[in-house]
Amino acid sequence: MTDYEFTVVIERDEDGRFLAVCPALQGCYTEGDTEDEARELIVDAIRLHIKDRLDRGEPICHEVGSSRIKVAV
């Protein structure tokens, strides 16, 4: 078994739901009623995403880095 580590972004939408996205894995996202629920669900989504890619012989993307960028408008 291999351990993977990814950045996850959690945002709150206009309806108050929490959206969790794993930017390194295109299309890997979920949502929950609470931040904790979204965090738990994204772990499952990432696991399934990786398993599916491995089953199909596709490579697993690895993050190069992440940073916060401040923009004045």
What value does the mean pLDDT of the chain take? 95
Q: What is the pLDDT of residue 19?
A: 98
Q: What is the pLDDT of residue 61?
A: 87
How far apart (Å, rounded) are the C-alpha atoms in residues 53 and 34? 28
Residue with tokens 């979204």: 38
Rounded to an integer, what is the distance from CA 44 to the centroid of its chain? 10
- pLDDT tens per residue, range 30-63: 999 999 999 999 999 999 999 999 999 999 988 8
Domain of 10, in residue numbers: 1-73
Give the CATH number, domain containing residue 64: 3.30.160.250
Q: What is the pLDDT of residue 1?
A: 85
For the chain, what's the residue count? 73
Answer whether residue 17 shows pLDDT above 90: yes
